[in-house]
Amino acid sequence: MAFSGPTIVEKIQLICARRSINDQKRLVIKSISRSSNGEILVVNHPDLPTCTTKTCLFYYQKKRNSLRAIECEQIKYLNGFLGYKFPTKIFDLIIRQSQRVSTPNNSSVVFCIQGKSRIFHGKIDDISSNGAKFLVNISSIVTKNTIIENLTMSLFYRSKYIEEMNIHIPQAKVTWLEGDETTTNTLGVQFLLKGKDYDQLSSYLDLRSIEDSNKDRSINS
């Protein structure tokens, strides 16, 4: 459903999903103008003048509302501002207490076992705010409740326009495992994290949930 210009300009600021979690800035919407392409959303974008992305995902959150997103097509460069084709849909994200999402495009993890020096490499199959499922070849010395340390996760998105997120987690605990008599192929882990680490992971989960949302359904702002 279409939404009105004044609602966007007066009540929200946008965050560009392409920017690093440590470099996110709220974008000021200057105005809505008209052209031969229809209505244009004019945004003061911090990546100017190097931003060449044709489609950009913005997200925002109003007080007491869930996270929402709009996807805009860039069509003009206007005197230090970027012009985006006016969006006609808002995608609503319902955040669960422990949302779980798949991790596309070869998302990976590197870690070691507590008290050991060997480094293990694996793939991340899915992830939530509490833990993840890793696909990794590891010896049978790993058991339930084993502590793994110094996890570095490279988390990708489905969209090629959003930069991957690298998250460091000091410790995690193995909660379940699968494999044969000599090798474990799958680990279920529980994260032991808080503060900034948790905020980074929450940001990734929010954006991945937006990507997986049913984009055929739109809502009023």
Residue 21 binned pLDDT confidence (cut-offs 50, 70, 90): very low
- For residue 195, give both structure tokens: 């503060």
pTM of the entire predicted model: 0.58
- What is the Cα–Cα distance from 118 to 159, expressed in whole angstroms? 34
- In the three-class reduction of DSSP (H, G, I as helix; E, B as strand; rest coil), residue 66 is classed as coil
Average pLDDT, the chain: 75
- pLDDT for res 196: 72
Q: Over pLDDT 90: what percentage of the chain?
A: 22
Q: Which residue has the higher pLDDT, 98 or 127?
A: 127
Same domain for 143 and 109?
yes
The answer to whether residue 218 is domain-embedded is no
Residue 104 forms part of a structural domain: yes
Q: Averaged over 47-70, what is the pLDDT?
A: 69
Same domain, 50 and 122: no
Give Cβ neighbours of residue 110 (< 8 Å, ≥ 6 apart): 119, 120, 121, 122, 150, 151, 152
Last residue of one domain, picked from the residues 92, 115, 145: 92
CATH of the domain at 162: 2.40.10.220
pLDDT, residue 113, reads 93
Instruction: Give the least confident one: 28-37, 47-56, 173-182, 198-207.
Output: 47-56
Shared domain check, 205 and 122: yes
For residue range 121-162, list pLDDT tens digits in order: 999 999 998 899 999 988 767 888 999 999 999 999 887 777
Instruction: Give the confidence band of 64 by pLDDT, cuts at 50, 70, 90.
Output: low
Which residue from 220, 201, 215, 5 is spatially nearest to 100, judged by alpha carbons? 201
The residue among 55 and 140 whose pLDDT is bigger is 55
Q: Write out the residue range of the structural domain in which residue 73 sits.
A: 5-92
Structural domain contains residue 16: yes
Q: Per-residue confidence at 175, pLDDT binned at 50, 70, 90? A: very high
If one compares 126 and 53, the residue with the highest pLDDT of the two is: 126
Amino acid 20: pLDDT? 46
Burial 48-70 (b: 16+ CB within 10 A, else e): eeeeebeebbbbbeeeeeebbbb
- Show which of 46, 65, 92 is a domain's final residue: 92
- State pLDDT tens for residues 77-93: 766 677 888 877 777 65
Same domain, 16 and 75: yes
